[in-house]
Amino acid sequence: MVLTQVSIDTVYPQMLKLKWLFTPAADSVSIYKCESYCSYENNFSRVAKVIMEVEHLEWIDINADLTTSYTYSIGWNYSGKSAPLNNMVLKTASAAVGCSNSILLSWNPYIRYKEFSWDTGTNKVMDSMNYYVYYRLKGGETTFILLDSLLGICQTSKINYEAKYLLSDTVYEFVVQAFSINDPILYSFSNISVAPRTGIVNLDPVAIEISCISVIYEKNFIIDIITESFSDIFHKLYLLRDKPDKIPENKESLSFSIIDSTDYNPNNQYTFIDNKVDPKSGLYYYMVVADNKCKLNDTSNILTNIYLYGKRVEKYGDSIFFVQQGFPPLNPNDIYEVNRRVDGSESNITSLTLLNNRCYVDVEPFLEDGIVVKYVVKSDNNCYSNPLTIEHEPKMKIPNAFYPESRKIENQTFFPILSFPPENNYLFIIYNRWGQEIFRATKPPHYCFFDRSLEGAVNINMSCLQQNKDEQRSWDGTFQGKKCPPGIYAYKISYAFNEGSELYSTSGTFMLMR
């Protein structure tokens, strides 16, 4: 004997019905019912006897309270009883905490027992069940609409579900359908449960602003967000990001993905750190969405980082470009500072505003030897761009002759004229005609020619030239304290033009004159 269904008939009026498979060997079947502690035979009571008909194999429990869970079994004389089944009872709680338009639902699981021993009172629970949650508006359409599905729910003492995104000021009716994964004829509807009226929600948007996107540690972004007060505490604040191949003309062409989230903060200030970016690679677009559940999501403005890039145009000019974009457009009166960082200190070069999201400026380079120079752009609300180190083009001049007895002090020593060589990884060696090393410098010569004016005037720092000689950065034409004879000499030089660049090396010859 197989009891196949214990279910609520959801057509008005609601009734609890039992259905079972036809058994030709029986002309009648007894109905057994239990309200609690239903694992033992003596807790089941015989409540009805039904004459078997092929066309009508069901029984209605007219005494059932649809808000109570019962367990049923069927059988006939000398046959034993079927594995028991129970009806589902759906209950609704008050609105979910923090959101007046979410309703909490709960129900007991619908269980079919594969094996049940009346002698020992033991049982084995069937496999997982699937559940469909349906809803309709009370007093509206009579047809239930599928709201959600919960697949593969194993046996638990209670199943909880939150119905979200409901209409404001509305009464809902819910019903849950359970069905077996392995046997589609085994299913059950719960009772119809009327949910409390949802709350009336303030639909006015809450202002959310990404106020600053700044580079930290030269490799991450820190995103600062400020908001107005939320009348309804949102569920999550989500950070979204996109990095298109080119600057979009409008926000509709962006395709955002969620990269992070945070919970409600009563201070209305939030900070995200994005460590999966390369600030030197271009513009990243960010947007923030507050998931309020009860209404349309509140969204922020769209803002990018300040992206700085540039190049050395010539010895006396660095060209710097930077761009920042926002939707809605940025304030054209916002002030940006171009700063130069040298040896940990920072100085302002110029201040300017953006035109059509972009800015171009030529700046005078920092002419000092062995110094790493970085540029950075800062907005008036202290948002920093990526630091930019402009690659200095390799420039080197080596005289083809020198005369130690010259009246001009700049011609009395031999050294290469270099552009911004670093102190590390430098090597300059001079050999005589027999290949003997007669001079070695491991530190580059100081730059002693200050010709920044672009008018052609060259100012020579004499003490700088003497320092080069005293520190063994330039050769005075002697070896082991004696003057070297005139003739052809060879040199070899290697150094890196910038931090992190490859080593540059070359060699050649020059004439020592007496």
pLDDT tens-digit series, residues 486-512? 999 999 998 876 555 667 888 999 999
Question: CB neighbours (10 Å) of residue 169?
Answer: 11
Q: Residue 342, SS3?
A: strand
Note whether 167 and 242 are same-domain residues.
no
Q: Bigger pLDDT: 49 or 241?
A: 241
- C-alpha distances in Å from residue 241, one per residue of 260, 307, 324: 9, 16, 15
Q: What is the CATH number of the domain that holds 138?
A: 2.60.40.10
Is there a single domain that holds both residue 238 and residue 187? no
Q: What confidence score (pLDDT) does residue 369 get? A: 47
Which pair of tokens denotes residue 419? Answer: 């552009």
Q: What is the mean pLDDT of the chain?
A: 84
Say if residue 25's pLDDT is above 90: no
Please give the DSSP secondary-structure letter assigned to residue 82: P
pLDDT for the residue numbered 490:
96
Residue 15 lies in a domain: yes
If asked whether residues 475 and 375 sit together in one domain, one would say no
CA dihedral 427, 431, 436, 438 (to 10 degrees): -70
Same domain, 171 and 265: no
pLDDT of residue 82: 81
What does the block give as tokens for 476? 């005075």
* Boundary (domain end) residue, out of 354, 389, 424: 389
DSSP label at residue 184 = T
pLDDT at site 39: 66
Encode pLDDT of 93-150 as tens digits: 876 544 557 888 999 988 756 555 555 445 555 557 899 999 999 876 678 999 999 9
200 domain residue, yes or no? no
**Model confidence band, residue 409 (pLDDT cutoffs 50, 70, 90):** confident
Per the rule left: phi > 0, alpha: psi between -120 and 50, beta: everything else, 139 is left
Q: Are residues 27 and 45 in the same domain?
A: yes
Locate all alpha helices (DSSP H) within 364-420, ordered by sequence: none
pLDDT band at 267 (very low <50, low <70, confident <90, very high): confident
Highest mean pLDDT among 246-260, 293-307, 388-402: 246-260
Match 């003739």 to its residue by tokens: 487
Q: Is residue 89 part of a domain?
A: yes
Look at residues 338, 359, 389 and tell me which one is the last residue of a structural domain. Answer: 389
State which of 334, 367, 389 marks the end of a domain: 389
User: Looking at the structure, do residues 49 and 124 belong to the same domain, yes or no?
Assistant: yes
Whether 237 shows a pLDDT value over 70: the answer reads yes
Q: How many domains does the chain have?
A: 4
- Is residue 362 classed as helix, strand or coil in its secondary structure? strand
Rounded to an integer, the average pLDDT of 160-189 is 85
- Report residue 189's pLDDT band, with 50, 70 and 90 as the boundaries: very high
201, part of any domain: no
Residues 6+ positions from 56 with CB-CB distance below 8 Å:
none
- Return the bridge partners of 188, or none: 178
Same domain, yes or no: 104 and 242: no
Higher per-residue pLDDT: 233 or 480:
480
Angle at 300 between CA 297 and CA 304, to 5 degrees: 140
Tell the residue number behind the tokens 């609520």, with chain if given.
Answer: 8
Please report, for the domain that includes residue 429, its CATH number. Answer: 2.60.40
* Residue written as token pair 């470009």: 321
My answer on whether 385 and 410 are in the same domain is no
Q: Do residues 148 and 219 both lie within one domain?
A: no
The reported pLDDT for the residue numbered 181 is 76
For residues 38 and 157, membership in a common domain is answered with yes
How many whole angstroms separate alpha carbon 140 and alpha carbon 143?
9
| Phi, psi values for residue 391, rounded to 5° | -70, 120
**Does one domain contain both 279 and 339?**
no
107-116, 406-415, 454-463, 486-495: lowest mean pLDDT where?
454-463
Q: How far is CA 102 from CA 95, 99, 160, 206, 326, in A?
A: 6, 6, 13, 20, 34
Range(s) of the domain holding residue 318: 310-389
- Asked if 474 and 445 touch (Cβ cutoff 8 Å), the reply is yes
Which token pair is 184? 């589609």
Of the chain, the percentage scoring pLDDT greater than 90 comes to 46
Whether 134 contacts 176, CB under 8 Å: yes
Confidence of residue 190 (pLDDT cuts 50, 70, 90): very high
Q: What pLDDT, in 10s, does the model give residues 41-66?
A: 667 888 999 888 777 789 999 999 99
DSSP 108: P
- pLDDT interval class at 480 (50, 70, 90): very high
Q: Give residue 264's pLDDT.
A: 81
Integer CA distances (angstroms), 468 to 242, 449, 476, 481, 493, in order:
53, 13, 10, 17, 16
Q: Do 337 and 374 have their domain in common?
A: yes
345 compared with 35, residue with greater pLDDT: 35
- Domain assignment present for residue 199? The answer is no
| Within-domain flag for 176 | yes
pLDDT tens across 359-403, in order? 988 887 665 544 567 899 999 999 999 999 876 555 678 899 999
User: Average pLDDT, stretch 288-295?
Assistant: 79
The yes-or-no verdict on residue 450 having pLDDT over 60 is: no
CA 237 to chain centre: 12
Is 320 a domain residue?
Answer: yes
DSSP, collapsed to helix, strand or coil, labels residue 32 as strand
Dist. CA 312–CA 334, nearest whole Å: 27
Q: Is the dihedral of CA 145, 149, 153, 157 positive or negative?
A: negative
